[in-house]
Structure 1
Amino acid sequence: MSRHSLTRAARTSNMRWLMSLAHMEPSPVSRWVALRAALAIGLPTAVGLALDQSAAAALVALGALPAITGDNGGPYRNRALSIGSTVFGGALGYLLGNLISGHGLLTSGAMTVLVLAASLIGTFNNIAAVATLQFAVYVIVGSSLTSTLPPWLPSVLVGAGGIFGLALTLSGWVVNPIAPERAAVAMAYRKLAAMFAAIGTSRIMAARRDMEAAMTNAYDILLTARGRAAGPSPRLARLAAQLQACTPLTNAAMALARAGRVVPPDCARVMNRLADRVENNADPDPGDDIAALRLADMPQLADALAQALPLLDGGRQQTGDPLATLGPVRPRTPWRVLARTYRPGPTTVRYLIRLGLCLIAAEAVALAVSLPRSYWVPLIVVVIFKPNFGSVFARALQSCGGSVVGVAISATVLALDRNGLASLLTVGVLASLLPWSIRRNYGLFSAILLPILMLLIGALQPGSWYIALARLVDVGVAAAIVLLVGYLPWIRIERNNLDHAVSTAMSTLAAYLNTVFQADPASRHDLRASAYARLSDLRIALQRGLSEPRLVSRRALAWWPVEVALERVANAISDTAWSPQAATAAPSAAQTAQLATALQTMSTAVELGLPMPAEHITAPSPALQDVAAEIESLRAALTGPDFAAAPGAGAPKHPIHQV
């Protein structure tokens, strides 16, 4: 390759890396959510300004902040648990931070121990991750801020703000208690409509992936809602029936996709109309839609819609409980059992060691350089280094970029504000943008969150506008510590984590294939959901890897063809297991075990860096012909283009391990 070609390839790689850092995720947020966020932060601030109690009001607003950042949507009960845990974590953290403050190095040591303990608990699940992050942040803030209020009052005010924010979030439950469940079922129809529109185009893989995720999410939400229902629920039964009506429509769409048919736009419009009726709790009345599909020369879809009509009507035309067909309610494992059986693995231990080293370095740098209000450095370290929220490397750089904008906003407001009104308006407007920014891009989130924190904390410890510039130095120091202490020395581990994610996805697909044909209908959904969830985890890991340094991003880019091949394997298994012929000509356990063993062998080879199997994969039965063909394509992708280039050299090694 010429020097010009190498330069152009490097320039393209750098441009792809910069674009990954600036990538904005689609994030539609309703106006009510934005208004609720503005009220949660702006209303306490306005009351404090009116009563000349800005310090107390700032604590209430700080307590309400977790109700915004901890709201991940979904059913109200799940949101209450997530936001309530986050609010409790913030209030408890502020209390403990106040108790340990003012003791010099002992304060720093106690703060580090509390943050590490919280980070360990945060590896349990996503709710624990958000709650313990808030706990860690408020431990640092509480141990560093001084207040003229009585020692017990700040934590009470923070807790009161959290309860106020939680009440605002759950206010919609009074009007429409199952609105999130209905929205989830409607979203399944919308994703199915998008899949109809993508049939025959290059978008079909992504559209099917979104449809599978929406169906899984809707099933999980309805199962959870049924598990907590005190008795029969006609509204949930109606939604369950309407969700089951997606099955014949999905099967028809899969058949058209395999045949390579291009579907007229009327088909997608029919699905979107059904979604609107489900979301608005209106009668489906698909008679005209069935006629329109027949006129569009789509008899398969018209027949599927006619077959789904009794279910679309909410199950009123059939006997039995539609909720019963969703499968058994999953038993919940008590927290005490989870805590007793939990054992931190090597990944968790490494994360705690890396975080501990970063906190020690943050405290050492802050003391050595005498940074003003140096608690910002460990605070930013904790937020950036949290692994649950994306690439650490990308967040460090995005935080620096976002902080430049945030500091400019803060400095401008602090320099111009004379009576507090400018700060109040700024906090309210920025708070309304938080739910949107937190889902879009971490740099954008930093640019909005930093001015809110600075203006609120500024009411507790007033200072002139030049303090805003000091925050930019703090962010730069924190990002440098995370990269130099917590990331770059461990970068090879980050690269090996990608191999482990690919291996895990293969193992899950092997288990899926080995059991789905013999499983009862009640457990098939769980098997399918687990397989596609693991593929989703792999895609997220690879997307994060693309924003890492070249040592990791090259490995992530090399794994993408394998990820596509794994998706095709999962789709082939699902299509075969759910096809009408599967009930009459299902493969035997021995036949599925043969292909599952081949998948597991490749998984082990990827995990350990062993040679790939050289034998071609063949179908043990006609029913598994499509599955075997996709597994053979996966083996070819893993083997690479250099396969069999050196006869007699033995089985080829996976070329990605040479990247």
Structure 2
Amino acid sequence: MADQQRRERALRAPAWLEELVRTTPPPVPWRDVARFAVAIPGPLVLAVLLGGLDSRVALGAGVFGTMGALAASLAPQPGPLRDRMRRIGAATAFGMLGLLAGQYASGGGWEPVVVIAALSGFAALVSAVNAAFSLGALQLLIYTALASGLVTPLPAAVEVGFFLCGAGWATLIALVQARTDPLDPDRAAVAAVFTRIAELLAAVGTDSAPAARRALTTALNAAYDRVIRSRSRSPGLSRELSELAGVLNAAAPLVEGAVAAARAGVPADPCDVSAGHAFAAALTGSGELSSERPRPLQGGHPSMRAVRHGVRLVWNVVGDPEERASAAAPSPAPSPRARLREVVDRTLGSRDTRSFAVRLSLCMTVAEIVRQYLPIERPYWVLLTVAIILKPDFGSVFTRAVQRGVGTLLGVLLGSALLVVLPHDAWVLAALTVSAAVLPWARDTNFGMFSVFQTPLIILLLDLALPSEPGLVAARLLDTLVGCAIVLVFGYLLWPQTWRAPLDEALRDAVLALDAFVDAAFTGGPVERRRARRRNYRALTELQTQLQRRLAEPPPISTRAAAWWPVIVQLERTSDAVTEAVIATRGGEPAPDPAQVAVLRRAIRRLEDDVRTPGAVDDAELHAEGVLAPVAREVDAARRLVREAAPGRRTGHRAAPPVAPGGTALWDGPVPKDPPPLTLPPLDGPPPPGSRTVTTDDGVDLHVEFDGPAGGGGAGGDTDAPLTVVLCHGFTARLAEWEVQREALRGRARLVLWDQRGHGRSGWTPLTRATIDRTGQDLGQVLDAVVPSGPVVLAGHSMGGMSILALARQRPELFGTRVVGALLLATSAGGLVDTGPAGFLVKTGRRLGLLSLYLRLLQLLAPFLERRRRRDTWLGRRAIRRLLFGRDDADPRSVRMVQRLLEETPLPVTMAFYATFLDHDETAALPVLRRVPVTVVAGTHDRLTPAAHGRRIAEAIGADAELVVVPGAGHSVNLTRRAVVDRALLDLLDRVEHRTRKAG
């Protein structure tokens, strides 16, 4: 939450830099902490106990043993024990090879340069084989660098022997932990999702259903975070993690069905509850699924059928008979020639791998030349820095360089401080143990945090073998900076292809996988269909991983990557639509026409062409019938998004931004601004015919207007309308700010618009209460007076949204009964001045007792200032341009129109409301809104209620909230991005009506 507030505050760092340094503290992996604390310092402690701290031989043996333990300890990651042992074996073997090769990379001359260049190229090539070899290649370079500069009295063979002994000791500890681990944490997190689904289904119709729903949301977030974090830490491709991500993707329809059943209060079939627990048991290995997939339900409530549909979909992934059969009878192993051909294709046959090998060799060669010719105290530290930054495969070089550089600088200061403060005795071992114990948590945080604690460990370890003076701190810092500079210049800036996000290729692969999935779904057999579906979801998972890596790069890479985000989400929606179409066909729906399938596949292949090269814009919509109709709509949306996201293309206006379901925030991509309306209805003159006045319980007259389904409505509007939309305007505005939405909603629902107290035509007295709590009561009394019955959708902009939240807190019984939906536009649930300079000033003013005095002084001066107020000034336009408009929507006509609208509100009203925004907190209302569909709209350049506030609202509401974030838009998004807001309102009404029909 705090990170999102900092990203959106007015004085903020660039988004790519915030992404670079952003950290979300992970849970502490206590079992790994204990393993590292025992395994890593163990060999050194044993050597000191046997030979003491004064024995150079004993210390050398202990240092190399601890190096081996460090390599073996860092190798295991969550996953099957066999994979963990493979990683340990690869790290140990390649580390040993590095120690031996390091003997030939020391000294001067051209021989060390050749050795380093050859080893670097070899390490880059073998990294493409698999994850274990990738990790081993990193250890090869690290220990080559260390061996090139670390001198001990031990022969090389003895050093390698102690290294292997330390690695064996750490392997033993890892085996003990693996045998005592209750479960692989990644699989446990995914299994917990299905346990929570089963608990929610069992709780339908009881008081515990809301708590079970929140527990399911928490489990889903934890599972996705766990799998994504493990994938980002994996040194190479991991089939295990891809499969788990596929299981989570497949669980989406089941989650939606379970939530729908809970909302409707329809008990689930007991078989579906048991299936949820069975899925969890199958994932953890404590049970097996039945050999027969559950049959579809032919009757019953739609939510029951949706749950069974989701169960069957998950069964296809978790309980795939093909996978169980292959596990029982493995397919014949490929021949040695076939394996060799596959390895050659992945290494020498891959252009990316060859390019990476050249970059790595160049950087390491430059580092070796620097080592020989610059007067550096610890030259091997430059090689070590370059290897650690550049080697971990094909991820973000810039991110690792910055995080490694900053983390190492902090780590050097910490390690050097420990050497100065601690005596040269057992206290050094204690500090080394603490540093080792923190490594598992730091590794889960980010690369920079890992460097902060890894660096002191290495400094303490090497200082025991090669003591240094305290003045070496500056030298270590210089070495680190030199290494970072080498990587940034020779591994990043000199390679233009690294400036471009490698998402295009991954996106094309995902599109081709989707095309193959559509082909297999409607023309292939069950086996081909399952394989194509898994390949499709794996491609999407890899695409998401590449996106996250590139978001931390500087522009233009980060902005280029962010532009593809809505496309990726849309491809996921399309894949889900194909899956649903397949299941519908199995359930008895007519099979699609092969000609329509062919047209659909041509459109998907055209997506691949659009990603690859710019082409002519094709605005023709896809049309299909039957089960293909939803798929065609999703593909059509994907085509529009690709045209808008691709570089160098400008397309026409997109009226309907895609919105991700289930509370997922979706960055909407570039949306052209709307032309501003030339005029708004004037405030002077008589009120429109049919208007009413509602007098509140504290005596304030509120002005209310109506707009019926047919454009009219009498004195009270059309009370027979099936749905009423109540529009609440923002601070210092009036109901006319919704004028541009009236036309879109006219004929669709009965409209009620009202002026909040002190605004527009509504009344005001000097004793009027000016608080959000009071405006929430006003809204409730307007509903009671003019909408006494029938379903109501509330829409609020800025302070209007806050009034809706206040009403939800005050009268929660209305929501889910009378109030059936809500649109929250550019608003906040609280914390408007918690951060940034404004927050500091407010807190300081409160602490000194000056804030209340200042606000009271403003209210006293307001009448005097109002009499001398000048309107329509250049300075006023500048302030409104800054505060209410975004990057792309501040044309002069819009600014002047909004200025005239807002300056109609008297200063006494304006200043009376200031205090309520400082203390505004309606977070207690958010659980109430979970009862109804909610749409939250926010602008990326909103300086009054930043987009982070909208995200927090959507996240707190959960599955029934949809978030539309409009890029470049400011606070007046309903006036400047009319089409986006219109479509958000219409989509919300569609969701409300759909839920009403389902509820019967």
Provide TM-score, normalisation by structure 2: 0.53
Correspondence list, 1:103-122, <5 A: 104-122=109-127
User: Which secondary structure does the structure 2 equivalent of 1:388 belong to?
Assistant: coil
1:33 match: 32
Matched, 1:125 2:130: yes
Q: Confirm or deny that 1:59 pairs with 2:60.
A: no
Contact 1:454–1:468 (CA under 8 A) maintained in structure 2: no
Counterpart of 1:559 (choices 556, 564, 575) is 564
Q: Return the structure number with greater relative CO, CA threshold 8 A, min gap 6.
A: 1
User: Could you tell me whether the CA contact under 8 Å between 1:185 and 1:278 is conserved in 2?
Assistant: no
Residues 513 and 532 of structure 2 are in contact (CA less than 8 Å); yes or no, is this contact kept in structure 1? no
Instruction: Report the 3-state secondary structure (helix = DSSP H, G, I; strand = E; otherwise coil) of the residue aligned with 2:128.
Output: coil
Residues 1:505 and 2:510 aligned together:
yes
1:364 aligns with 2:369: yes
Where 1:495 maps in the other structure, the secondary structure is coil
**CA displacement at 1:614 relative to structure 2:** 3.4
Cα deviations by residue, 1:394-445 (Å, 9 ceiling, x for unpaired): 1111112211221122112111232332221122112122122212200001
Deviation at 1:187, TM superposition (A): 4.5
More strand by share: 2
Q: Secondary structure at the match of 1:618?
A: coil
- How many positions carry a matched residue from both structures? 601
Partners of 2:186 and 2:564 in 1: CA distance: 36
Structure 1 SS opposite 2:47: helix
Letter of the aligned partner of 1:324 in structure 2? Answer: A
1:207 and 1:115 mapped to 2: Cα distance? 39
C-alpha spacing 1:13/1:505, structure 2 compared with 1 (3 Å): farther
Cα distance, 1:518 vs. partner? Answer: 3.7
CA distance, structure 1, for counterparts of residue 94 and residue 266 of structure 2: 50
Pick aligned residue for 2:404 from 388, 399, 418: 399
Shift of 1:361: 2.4
Corresponding residue to 1:446 among 438, 448, 451: 451
Report what 2:651 is aligned to.
643
Tell me, in whole angstroms, the C-alpha distance in 2 between the residues paired with 1:223 and 1:17.
27
Amino acid corresponding to residue 324 of structure 2 in structure 1: L
Q: Distance in 2 between matches of 1:11 and 1:487?
A: 31
The one-letter code sitting in structure 1 at the alignment partner of 2:255 is A
Q: 1:212 and 1:544, CA in 2 relative to 1: closer, same or farther beyond 3 A?
A: closer
The equivalent of 2:590 in structure 1 is: 585
Matched, 1:633 2:632: no
Q: Distance in 2 between matches of 1:200 and 1:517?
A: 37
Matched residue, 2:15: 16
Q: Quick check: 2:200–2:258 contact (8 Å CA) kept in 1?
A: no
Q: Which moved more, 1:191-200 or 1:387-396?
A: 191-200
TM superposition shift of 1:605: 2.1
CA distance in 2, matches of 1:306, 1:537: 24
* 8 Å contact kept, 2:20–2:553: no
Report SS of the residue matched to 2:500. Answer: helix
Q: Deviation at 1:631?
A: 0.5
Q: Distance in 1 between matches of 2:222 and 2:629?
A: 21
Matches within 5 A, 1:369-384: 369-384=374-389
Q: Is the 8 A contact 2:35 2:177 kept in 1?
A: no
Q: Does 1:152 align with 2:153?
A: no
Determine the structure 1 residue equivalent to 2:176.
Answer: 171
For 1:85, the equivalent position in structure 2 comes to 90
Residue 421 of structure 1 aligns with an amino acid whose one-letter code is A
Distance 1:572 1:141, change over 3 A: same
Report the CA distance shift for 1:301/1:79 in structure 2 as closer, same or farther (over 3 A): farther
For residues 318-377 of structure 1, the C-alpha deviation after alignment (integer angstroms, 9 at most, x for no partner) is xx9993398975665554343344433322222222222222322333334311111111
Give the match for residue 529 of structure 1.
Answer: 534
In the aligned structure 1, how far is the partner of 2:358 from the partner of 2:512? 29
Shift of 1:584: 5.2
Are 2:254 and 2:306, in contact at CA under 8 Å, matched by a contact in 1? no
Q: Write the letter of the residue equivalent to 1:598.
A: A
Equivalent position SS for 1:640: helix
What is residue 430 of structure 2 aligned with on the other side?
Answer: 425
What is the letter of the counterpart of residue 643 of structure 1?
T
1:576 paired residue among 576, 581, 588: 581
> Which range moved further: 548-557 or 346-355?
346-355
Indicate the residue corresponding to 1:651 in structure 2. Answer: none
Amino acid at match of 1:627: V
Which string of whole-angstrom CA distances, capped at 9 and with x for unpartnered residues, describes residues 197-245 of structure 1? 89899x899869949979xx9x965999xxxxxxxxxxxxxxx9xx99x
Are the aligned partners of 1:414 and 1:464 in contact in 2 as well (CA < 8 Å)?
no
Q: Describe the shift of the 1:109–1:211 C-alpha distance in structure 2 as closer, same or farther (beyond 3 A).
A: closer
How far apart are the structure 1 equivalents of 2:249 and 2:16?
40
Q: Distance in 2 between matches of 1:590 and 1:206?
A: 39
CA separation of 1:635/1:330 partners in 2, compared to 1, >3 Å: closer, same or farther? Answer: farther
Is the contact made by 1:223 and 1:329 (CA closer than 8 Å) also made in structure 2?
A: no
Amino acid at match of 2:619: A
**Hey, what does 1:480 align to over in structure 2?**
485
Does the CA contact (< 8 Å) of 2:189 and 2:222 recur in 1? no
CA–CA separation in structure 1 for the residues paired with 2:426 and 2:80: 37
Report if the CA contact (8 A) 1:60-1:162 is conserved: yes
Tell me, in whole angstroms, the C-alpha distance in 1 between the residues paired with 2:308 and 2:585.
Answer: 13
1:496 to 1:89, Cα distance in 2 relative to 1, 3 A: same
Could you tell me whether the CA contact under 8 Å between 2:443 and 2:450 is conserved in 1?
yes
Could you tell me which residue of structure 2 aligns to residue 288 of structure 1?
none
- What is residue 253 of structure 1 aligned with on the other side? 255
Distance change >3 Å, CA 531–CA 645, structure 1 → 2: closer
Say yes or no: does 1:601 pair with 2:603: no
Partner of 2:325: 324
Amino acid across the alignment from 1:253:
V
Structure 2 partner of 1:228? none
Amino acid at match of 1:93: G
TM-superposition CA deviations, 1:220-276 (whole Å, max 9, x none): 65999xxxxxxxxxxxxxxx9xx99x999865434467x797488999999998788
Q: What is the CA-CA distance between 1:386 and the residue it aligns to?
A: 2.4
Question: Map of 1:163-242 to 2, 5 A cutoff?
Answer: 163-174=168-179, 183=188, 186-187=191-192, 189=194, 210=224
Letter of the 2:358 counterpart? I
2:139 is paired with a residue of what secondary structure?
Answer: helix
Which deviations, in whole Å up to 9, do the C-alpha atoms of 1:66-107 show, x marking residues without a partner? Answer: 222221211101111112111111111111212443454312
Separation (CA, whole Å) in 2 of partners of 1:443 and 1:211: 19
CA distance in 1, matches of 2:131, 2:253: 33
Q: 1:178 to 1:190 in 2, by over 3 A?
A: closer
After superposition, give the CA deviation of every residue in 1:271-298 in whole Å (9 maximum; x if it has no partner).
Answer: 99878877998899xxxxxxxxxxxx99
Residue 179 to residue 382, structure 1, CA distance change in 2 (3 Å): closer
1:136-151 counterparts in 2 under 5 A?
A: 136-151=141-156
1:188 deviation in Å? 5.4
Partners of 1:147 and 1:460 within 8 A in 2: yes
Query: Displacement of 1:495 after TM fit?
Result: 1.2
Instruction: Give me the identity figure in percent.
Output: 28
Deviation digits for residues 501-553 of structure 1 (CA, Å, limit 9, x no counterpart): 22222122112222133444345443223212222222222222222121211
Q: Which runs of 5+ in 1 are unaligned?
A: 1-7, 225-239, 285-296, 647-653
Of 95, 100, 108 in structure 1, the residue corresponding to residue 100 of structure 2 is 95
The answer to whether structure 1 residue 336 and structure 2 residue 335 are counterparts is: no
Aligned: 1:345 with 2:350? yes
Offset at 1:387?
Answer: 5.0
Structure having the higher helix fraction is: 1
Provide closer, same or farther for how the CA distance between residues 432 and 586 of structure 1 changes in structure 2, counting only shifts above 3 A: farther
Using the alignment, how far apart are the partners of 1:195 and 1:557 within structure 2?
A: 35
